[in-house]
Amino acid sequence: MTGDDFFQPVSGFDLPRFAGIPTFMRLPHVGIADDRAADVDIGLIGVPWDGGTTNRAGARHGPRQLRDLSTMIRQVHPHTGVNPFRLARCADLGDAPVNPADVQDALARITGFYDQVMDLGITPLSAGGDHLVSLPILRALARQGPLGMVQFDAHTDLFDGYFGGFRYTHGTPFRRAIEEELLDPERVIQVGIRGTMYDGEDIAWGEAQGVRIIMIEELMERGVEHVMDEVRERVGREPTYVTFDIDGIDPAFAPGTGTPEIGGFTSFQAQRMIRKLSGLNLVGADLVEVSPPFDPSGGTAWLGASLLFELLCVLATAREAAA
């Protein structure tokens, strides 16, 4: 228990949820250079960048809308009873610096920011941005060796290149991460893959490296409980990262994303899968590809904010267990 009131979210009993400056879950904003940054256990971070998008852009606006909708989050998980704000000192660390005009410079800036986060011993929970933002985050987190990864997604993001060999898009981050030995492919598992394909080369390459790819049909046939048992066994007790692409969820629930695919998870299935991550050795997580221009109502962002809370609960539990 932290017992530090500074790091508690503002209650809706004290200030209406539509009032005040929006931060993730109404937490205090602590800049990475602030004196109190050294006290933070879990930092919520926006990465407002979609320079890796190949079709429908807009995810750069995701963190701002996610912050706004996350003001609806309260303190206690309704099913598990976990209060992550009492298990860990949490704060909004603001946004990672980005460059919308230069992909490589943006990747370097993001990694530089997360290097500072790691130097402070903070566990990052990030909101994208397109899925390429996971690559520079992993470059900072995988300092001690390759990580395992649980990926909830409609797409593998294991493509080699686009447009004549351009190797850095939101469809390539995990191929690059495996090549750079940021991820141990034998401890990478992808859940929910579906949709029409270019040629299947991404799946073939991933499986050849040892990545476990669970198509949506297999998830629906086996069920969440059975699949998540395999997920837990696959990653084991070694350090593991979690990445959740909002397009893993069926567009009936989450239309606000750049590359929707029908036949995905329900919102409740997504909650159940994240809850099943409790007890793993989690070193960070992200939620990406919320694109407000495709859902101005904010429904997709509200779903995303709710899943960020689910992720925060399992990260706080992992942090406490490691203490």
Encode pLDDT of 155-203 as tens digits.
999 999 999 889 999 999 999 999 999 999 999 999 999 999 999 999 9
- Phi/psi of residue 42, each to 5°? -125, 125
Buried b (16+ CB within 10 A) or exposed e, 252-288: ebbbbbbbbbeebbebebbbbbbbbbbebebbbbbbb
pTM of the model: 0.97
pLDDT for position 50: 98
Residue 278, Ramachandran bin (φ over 0: left; ψ between -120 and 50: alpha; else beta): beta
Residue indicated by tokens 């992550």? 84
**Cα–Cα dist 231/229, whole Å:** 5
**CA 43 to CA 125: how far, in whole Å?**
6
* Domain residue limits, the chain: 39-322
Per the CB < 8 A criterion, the answer to whether 272 and 258 are in contact is: no
- Residue 84 token pair: 């992550």
Residues making up the annotated binding site for Mn(2+) are: 131, 153, 155, 157, 245, 247
CA 15 to CA 27: how far, in whole Å? 13
Whole-angstrom distance, CA of residue 320 vs CA of residue 15: 29
Q: What does the DSSP 8-state code read for residue 133?
A: G
CA angle (47 as vertex; 212, 162 as ends), nearest 5: 55
Q: Pairing state of beta strands 183-193 and 147-152? A: parallel
Rounded to 5°, the CA angle 23-307-155 comes to 120
Q: Cite the annotated binding site by residue number.
A: 131, 153, 155, 157, 245, 247
207, 220 contact by CB (below 8 A): no
**Using one digit for the tens of pLDDT, what is the confidence trace for 91-137?**
999 999 999 999 999 999 999 999 999 999 999 999 999 999 999 99
pLDDT score of 41: 97
**Bond prior to 52 in cis (omega within 30° of 0):** no
Q: Look up tokens 């009873």; give the residue.
A: 81
Digitized pLDDT (tens) for each residue of the chain, 323 residues in all: 455 789 999 999 999 999 999 999 999 999 999 999 999 999 999 999 999 999 999 999 999 999 999 999 999 999 999 999 999 999 999 999 999 999 999 999 999 999 999 999 999 999 999 999 999 999 999 999 999 999 999 999 999 999 988 999 999 999 999 999 999 999 999 999 999 999 999 999 999 999 999 999 999 999 999 999 999 999 999 999 999 999 999 999 999 999 999 999 999 999 999 999 999 999 999 999 999 999 999 999 999 999 999 999 999 999 998 87
From 311, 268, 271, select the one nearest 123 (Cα to Cα): 311
End-to-end CA distance of the chain: 11
Strand partners, 120: none
Separation of CA 74 from chain center: 20
Q: Which fold has domain 39-322?
A: Arginase; Chain A (3.40.800)
